Amino acid sequence: MTTSSPPFPSFVLLLLVLLALTVNANGETRSHHKVNISSLLPRKVCSNSKDVISDVTRLRLVHRHGPCSPAMRRRQSDFHAEILARDQLRVGFLRQRIAAAELGGGGGTSPASAGAAPSTKIPARSGESVSAGDYIVTVGLGTPPTAQTLFVDTGSDVTWVQCRPCAISCHRQLDQLFAPASSATYANVTCASAACADLDVSGCSGGTCLYGVAYGDGSQSVGFYSSDALALTPADVVPRFLFGCGQDNEGLFGRAAGILGLGGGRPSLVAQTMNKYNGVFGYCLPASASDAGYLAFGKSGITNPTVKYTNMLTDAKTPTFYFLNLTGISVSGQRLSILPAVFAKAGTLIDSGTVITRLPPAAYTSLRSAFRQGMSRYKNKRAPAVSILDTCYDPTGRGELKLPAVALQFAGDVSVNLAPEGIVYAVNRSRICLAFAANDGDGDVGILGNVQQRTFGVIYDVPKKVIGFAAGGC
């Protein structure tokens, strides 16, 4: 057991991370959804999620702003502006990482360069939001396990938590700070280890490996790279799990303890548990913030009879990200006249942390036009735009809406028919908006955001290089 760490370096480690027809589940053609407006809005109480399947590791996953969340703020304000503003920062950060990788910039920094000033940094203050998404799970870390509430992020590799003694800075969190000295299985990772070399950003202090991660809003975590027991559930423990023990943490919002990294890179939980779970994980994002979904690992209990698989595309230059081949969009049962090349130019990644799906400008314009046509009965109920959402309606006085059905087509003849909660974003009872946005240019990567993934069982099988969508997952 290693319970002491070398003095934390006085310099701040730089954190420059590289950046067909619409049918329902029964197979019948569907052109519209009749949806009760109240079902699009979160309730004040938490609904029960589906029972946990006994033969699969399944964690309860909730939206941080909803009543199911242990980290929900007591004073609920209009947080949608915050969510959408943070979403823009994350999207910009993802673009920067991908662009830097394409140019061969790598995006990391060597220990020798630690101490130089970053060229660009968005200021972050403790208590502000980190661009890591809106869904959280609670795990146990250490022996005996200490509960830690973490953001789930498929766009990050390194898992990290705030650790005592917090030599520089820690934000306020829901759980007690993880105390390495209190764990019988904690150990520091050495600078000479292969695990240290796998980090995009690393340093060394007294022979102990240092990690550094940064996010799109300027948030950061720096500390000792370590290992300890990770209890995904009380009965399912990952021994010697590699994670960051944060000593300088700035910008995380929502009282969470850190990040659970589910990306495709070597430091991620997915890669570390390849032998245990065979590189298979999945999740279901609930229909609203007042419902609970799940995060699951392993093949048992994840596969679903309704699952449709499409190819998972990866890029050696950006191994963290999961890409797929979006080929078309249908609205009201009619496929839009968008050439597949429009989507293929920059590609499309699937991301749990991005909220609103981003499309190439031409694709978004076509979708918006068709959606507005399908909503023509409400043309006198148009409402002002909200941030990046430019097609909004005021349903005040109505009990239900008739929404045009929207389906996304992927390679392999896979059509994903979005749930109503995945078509529109409910800001409040008087503002319902189309939950898509346009990229700035044709060369910007498309992103399948978490709103469009709601209610689906989304399954990642990394060795087989496929991503599956199962309707009615939660």
Instruction: Give 74-94 as a 3 state SS string.
Output: CCCCCCHHHHHHHHHHHHHHH
| Residue ranges in the chain whose pLDDT is less than 70 | 1-30, 48-55, 71-79, 105-133, 217, 252-254, 300-301, 303
* Catalytic one of 134, 153, 175, 291: 153
126: which 2 tokens? 């403790």
- Determine the pLDDT at residue 19: 24
Question: How far, in Å, CA of 408 to CA of 335, rounded?
Answer: 9
Q: Say if CB 113 and CB 33 are below 8 A apart.
A: no
Residue with tokens 């498929």: 154
This model's pTM is above 0.85: yes
- Determine the pLDDT at residue 201: 92
78 is catalytic: no
Q: Which of 182, 167, 176 is nearest to 255 (CA)?
A: 176
Domains of the chain: 32-47+304-470 (2.40.70.10), 57-295 (2.40.70.10)
444 is catalytic: no
- Determine the pLDDT at residue 397: 85
Q: Residue 267: what are its φ and ψ, rounded to 5°?
A: -75, -10
Task: Kindly give the residue spans of alpha helices, DSSP state H, lying in 304-443.
Answer: 340-344, 361-374
Is cis: bond before 144, omega within 30 of 0?
A: yes
Q: pLDDT digits over 342-394, tens only?
A: 999 999 999 999 999 999 999 999 999 999 999 999 988 999 999 999 999 99
CA atoms within 13 A on the CB side of 409: 22
* Catalytic one of 157, 175, 351, 444: 351
Q: Which of 338, 336, 314 is nearest to 325 (CA)?
A: 314
Q: Say if CB 450 and CB 293 are below 8 A apart.
A: no
Residue with tokens 């920062």: 89
Amino acid at 111: P
